[in-house]
Structure 1
Amino acid sequence: MDKISIAGLALGLAAILLGQVLEGGHIGSLLQPTAFLIVIGGTVGAVMLQSPWPVFMAGLKMGKWIFVPPPTDAKPLIDQIVTWSHIARKEGLLALEAQIPLVPDPFMQKGLQHLVDGVEPESLREVLEVEIGAYEAQMKLAAKIWESAGGYAPTIGILGAVMGLIHVMENLTDPSKLGAGIAVAFVATIYGVGSANLIFLPIAKKLFANIARLVSLREMFVDGLVGIANGDNPRIIESRLEGYVV
């Protein structure tokens, strides 16, 4: 559980609500279902329009990384690669074939299989780096739906504000309806700007950071396999891979 994400979201929302109270306002005045529907519904619709369905769904599923990030601890992988290096030096590359079913990640299974098959080190690196590039592009495309939402939300908020003002102008002769229209107008702007800068854009930045760490792990894995293929000393391989740890 990523506690700093929970703390950051809670602090941001609490600061806004507390500021409203300190200014003498009521929290209830910020709760406008109409404004929420306009801003969030419009933003989601715009993101769906720009994205293929698989990309949109992948981005939504990726949202759970904000609170439960994917495993990115490099130490277990380094230990595993060093173990493979020792096996390869003592028993040969073919002895690593028994390790393939023990690896849960399909990408790593493929890389280890290429290593066992005797693929040349540079060819091994080239093949796996192409797959890493495709993986990174696919993941970033999914994460960008949150970034896009952060771009659309403020504009949809302004649209909601204009709609509220139109409602006000239509009811100038009926003062009892002016308050609701003005409330929707201003709260829609708050929802648009607030959701973009407190939710959508921070989520996008955090997802991109997680993707960068996952890509770095894969690059480290490839570097380790190439070292084994070249017959490098396990200690040298370990020292080089530790350079990926930040």
Structure 2
Amino acid sequence: MDLSTIIGFVLAYVLIVVALIIGAGVGVYIDYPSVLIVIGGTLGVVMINFPMAQIASMGKVLSKAFLHKSEDLGELIQQLVGFAVKARRDGILSLESAEDELDDDFLKKGIRLAVDGTEPEVIKTILETELDYMEERHKLGASIFGAMGDFAPAMGMIGTLVGLVAMMQSLNDPSSIGPSMAVALLTTFYGAIIMNMFAGPITGKLKVRSAEEILMREIMIAGIMAIQAGDNPRIVEQKLNAYLSPGKRKSQFD
């Protein structure tokens, strides 16, 4: 569970609601026509923009922002160094038994290819191709929420225009000016909320998660290639630790 995402959302929304209560009260900021225009309109144009298969995956993509658990890259590197020690001592075929200990399919595939004696260039091509397509999938998932953030303010502006038109047509009826003005202003408010307090932050968090996973996969590829090349475990550790900041580096040989 990603505590920063959850705490951030709770903090932001609680403070906004408290501010509304202290001010004019929450009730004056609730307008159902504005909700229909902004939320309904935004979801509609997002569905126009993306195929249904991508729309259906929104929940799964969104869960990565809340439920993702970051991997300890230092521990991953030490695991790869351990494989290098074992391969150096007992031969690379000895890593065949290590596959059963791995939960990550990407790393398992790389180790299996190395154990099978696949050419280094082929292993690197296979793993890098899978990494490239993974990155594209992540970009597409984040782009759904990015599009939502782009469309929501635009739908808010459309709602504002609708409210202004209604207001202009009823200037001779003072009692109808207030509701029309509420639609005009609240649609902009709702659009800003969706963009700045939901879609924008979620898009940013998904990009961060994607960058973390890409770095993890790059370390795996570098480790697998070094193990297959028969590099000294100390050299493998130094190569892989270069991906981390000095404060996060660990060593088996100190």
Q: Same fold (TM over 0.5)?
A: yes
Unaligned runs of 5+ in 2: 246-254
In the alignment, is the contact (CA less than 8 A) between 2:77 and 2:241 conserved in 1? yes
* Deviation digits for residues 43-89 of structure 1 (CA, Å, limit 9, x no counterpart): 11111111122222333311122222243321332222122112211
Alpha-carbon deviations, 1:173-215, whole Å to 9, x = none?
A: 4333322221111011011122102211111011001001001
- Unaligned runs of at least 5 residues, structure 1: none
The residue number in structure 2 matching 1:41 is: 40
Other-structure match for 2:71: 72
The alignment's C-alpha RMSD in Å is 2.0
Question: What corresponds to 2:248 in structure 1?
Answer: none
The one-letter code sitting in structure 1 at the alignment partner of 2:12 is G
Cross-structure match for 1:62 = 61
| Secondary structure class of the residue paired with 1:104 | coil
Equivalent residue pairs, number: 245
Structure 1 counterpart of 2:165: 166
Shift of 1:9: 2.5
Aligned counterparts, 1:58-207, within 5 A: 58-207=57-206
Q: Do 1:120 and 1:229's aligned partners in 2 also have CA atoms closer than 8 Å?
A: no
Q: How far is 1:19 from its partner?
A: 4.7
* 8 Å contact kept, 2:2–2:69: no
Task: Note if contact 2:127-2:221 (Cα within 8 Å) is conserved in structure 1.
Answer: yes
> 1:28 aligns to what?
27
Q: Percent identical across equivalent pairs?
A: 36
Note the C-alpha offset of 1:154. Answer: 0.4
The CA distance in 2 between the partners of 1:214 and 1:64, in whole Å, is 15
4+ residue segments displaced more than 6 Å? none
